[in-house]
């Protein structure tokens, strides 16, 4: 029998973190209030500051990413915007890559409004990073693998470039997940997740996570969240905590399925191009072998035929696989990035991304691999 160390209002110790809604707290004494606000004890004063259910999930995600601590917020985009707001100011240069999730482009327009200079490079032009880093570059931000073309950037190389000018390195680890990649151990300052995706894993919540390499980063980002109110509600936090329980098993199966699918598609005559860093032919393969473990993740992309109609017909014929955005969840999903995640990008920027009108992005789920292959096969006929 387990030793019962903590008596709780429930009489026994709950096996899962209870959902504590956004309640107001009565201050027990000025002394307790001081201890909480000075960070001497864990305690709660107001939901926008902190919430016990959310805090438990933060600690779990921090452990998974080998972080000092983690700040959870309302979405992946909220997490990224909190980082930009906290660490960029007018006159700073943000160095980033075309190959990042589409909404980052919209955020960059807002940053430019506030006087931030944004430099965009192609992910596979890493040799240009050294020249692009300027004296006023204060942040390098990348996704690896990237959305949607799963391009792999060398995190240690970017760290070296950031060090030349004392810039921060921020890595969006949504595609890789901590099962395959731990950017903080390779020199990233901050790691971001759309926890809506693989960490949550069931297509039923929205959340963002910022994993911090130091306590100072945690304090600064906590300050921003408290100021602007991007605190997550406890219900999605509870769903997220539940998702984390099966995270490793799901991530392993997704990567296994993605590899089987990539190998099948690579040999299919209707597939004119395939993007998956687990294939030896992929330009990201070597770097992926260096910095990813346990496989190469559940995300891949491929071009069907020659035209958008070819890709649309393929998607419409799928029976098991869903036509939907989002990723990293139990069900296998496909979408056409130019019609979804990149829809609001100006035409010339879409061209810079190298994403074609017939490119399909696929997020492998945890279904039986053969059933997925059968579905892809019949849809490509």
Ligand X SMILES: Cc1ncc(COP(=O)(O)O)c(C=O)c1O
- For this structure, is 34 an active site residue? no
Tokens of 328: 């990293």
Question: Active-site residue among 48, 60, 134, 273?
Answer: 48
Site map 20..59 versus ligand X, x via CB under 6 A: ----------------------------------------
Q: Are 170 and 143 in contact (CB under 8 A)?
A: no
**CA torsion angle for 333, 338, 342, 345 (degrees, to 10)?**
-170
In the bound complex, what is the minimum distance in angstroms from residue 62's beta carbon to ligand X?
Answer: 18
* Choice among 92, 154, 172, 282 that is catalytic: 172
Q: Whole-number minimum distance, CB 188 to ligand X, in Å?
A: 15
**Beta carbon nearer to ligand X, 196 or 224:** 196
Q: Is 84 in the site for ligand X (CB under 6 A)?
A: no
CA distance 170 to 183: 9
> Is 101 among the residues that bind ligand X (CB under 6 A)?
yes
Beta-carbon-side half-sphere exposure of residue 134 (alpha carbons within 13 Å): 12
Restricted to residues 181-220, the positions that interact with ligand X (CB under 6 A) are 194, 196, 206, 208
Distance, CA of 228 to CA of 216 (rounded, Å): 19
Q: What is the DSSP letter of 233?
A: P
**3 state SS of 21:** coil
* Window 145 to 174, contacts with ligand X (CB under 6 A): 147, 172, 174
Tell me the backbone φ, ψ of residue 70, rounded to 5 degrees. -145, 140
Q: Does 123 bind ligand X (CB under 6 A)?
A: no
Q: Which is nearer to ligand X, 36 or 108 (CB)?
A: 108
Q: With binding defined as CB under 6 A, does residue 143 bind ligand X?
A: yes
Q: How far apart are CA 194 and CA 177, in angstroms?
A: 10
- For residue 135, count other CB atoms closer than 10 A to its CB: 9
**What is the closest distance, in whole angstroms, from the C-beta atom of residue 37 to ligand X in the complex?**
30
Q: Which residue is nearest to ligand X (CB)?
A: 76
Structure tokens, 151: 């391009």
Catalytic-role residue among 55, 151, 197, 253: 197
Binding span for ligand X by CB under 6 A among 71-79, 119-127, 213-221, 312-320:
71-79
Q: Which residue in 55, 99, 101, 168 is the catalytic one? A: 101
Q: Which of 54, 72, 77, 95 binds ligand X (CB under 6 A)?
A: 77
Residues touching ligand X, count (CB under 6 A): 13
> From its phi and psi, is residue 235 left (phi > 0), alpha (psi between -120 and 50) or beta?
alpha
Minimal distance, residue 292 CB to ligand X, in Å: 15
> Is 172 a residue of the active site?
yes
Cα 77 from Cα 233, distance rounded (Å): 16
Distance CA 80, CA 172 (A): 9
- How many C-beta atoms surround the C-beta of residue 41 within 10 A? 9
Q: Which stretch binds ligand X (CB under 6 A): 75-83, 213-221, 248-256, 330-338?
A: 75-83
Nearer to ligand X by Cβ, of 224 and 380: the residue is 224
Minimal distance in Å, beta carbon 162 to ligand X? Answer: 20
> Whole-angstrom Cα distance, residue 230 to residue 296?
32
Choice between 58 and 172, CB closer to ligand X: 172
Query: Which residues are 64's β-sheet partners?
Result: none
Q: How far is the CB of 266 from ligand X (least distance, A)?
A: 23
Count of other CB atoms within 10 angstroms of residue 110: 12
> How far, in Å, are 152, 232, 237 from residue 21 at the CA level?
40, 11, 11
Q: Interface with ligand X includes 297 (CB under 6 A)?
A: no
Q: Which residues are catalytic, by number?
A: 48, 101, 172, 197
Which residues contact ligand X (rule: CB under 6 A)?
75-77, 101, 143, 147, 172, 174-175, 194, 196, 206, 208
């Amino acid at each position: 029998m387990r030793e019962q160390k903590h008596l709780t209002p429930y009489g026994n110790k709950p096996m899962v973190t209870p959902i504590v809604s956004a309640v107001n707290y009565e201050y027990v004494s000025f002394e307790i209030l001081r201890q909480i606000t000075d960070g001497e004890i864990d305690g709660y004063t107001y939901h926008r500051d902190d919430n016990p259910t959310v805090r438990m999930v933060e600690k779990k995600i921090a452990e998974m990413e080998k972080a000092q601590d983690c700040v959870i917020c309302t979405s992946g985009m909220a997490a990224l915007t909190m980082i930009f707001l906290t660490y960029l100011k007018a006159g700073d240069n943000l160095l980033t890559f075309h190959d990042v999730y589409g909404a980052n482009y919209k955020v960059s327009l807002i940053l430019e409004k506030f006087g931030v200079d944004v430099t965009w490079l192609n992910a596979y032009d890493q040799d240009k990073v050294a020249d692009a880093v300027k004296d006023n570059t204060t942040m390098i931000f990348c996704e690896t693998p990237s959305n949607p073309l799963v391009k792999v950037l060398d995190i240690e190389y970017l760290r070296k470039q950031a060090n030349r000018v004392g810039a921060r390195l921020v890595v969006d680890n949504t595609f890789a997940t901590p099962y395959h990649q731990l950017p903080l151990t390779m020199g990233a300052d901050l790691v971001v997740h759309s926890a809506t995706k693989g960490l949550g894993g069931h297509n039923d919540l929205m959340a963002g996570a910022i994993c911090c390499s130091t306590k100072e980063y945690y304090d600064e980002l906590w300050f921003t969240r408290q100021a602007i109110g991007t605190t997550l509600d406890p219900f999605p936090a509870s769903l997220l905590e539940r998702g984390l329980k099966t995270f490793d098993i799901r991530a392993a199966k997704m990567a296994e399925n993605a590899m089987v699918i990539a190998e099948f598609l690579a040999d299919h005559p209707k597939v004119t191009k395939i993007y998956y860093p687990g294939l030896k032919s992929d330009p990201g393969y070597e770097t992926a072998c260096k910095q990813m473990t346990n496989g190469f993740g559940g995300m891949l992309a491929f071009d069907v035929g020659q035209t958008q109609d070819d890709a649309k017909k393929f998607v419409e014929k799928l029976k098991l696989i869903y036509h939907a955005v989002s990723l990293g969840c139990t069900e296998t999903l496909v979408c056409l990035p130019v019609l979804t995640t990149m829809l609001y990008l100006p035409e010339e920027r879409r061209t810079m991304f190298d994403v074609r009108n017939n490119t399909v992005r696929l997020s492998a789920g945890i279904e039986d691999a053969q059933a997925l292959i059968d579905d892809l096969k019949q849809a490509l006929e």
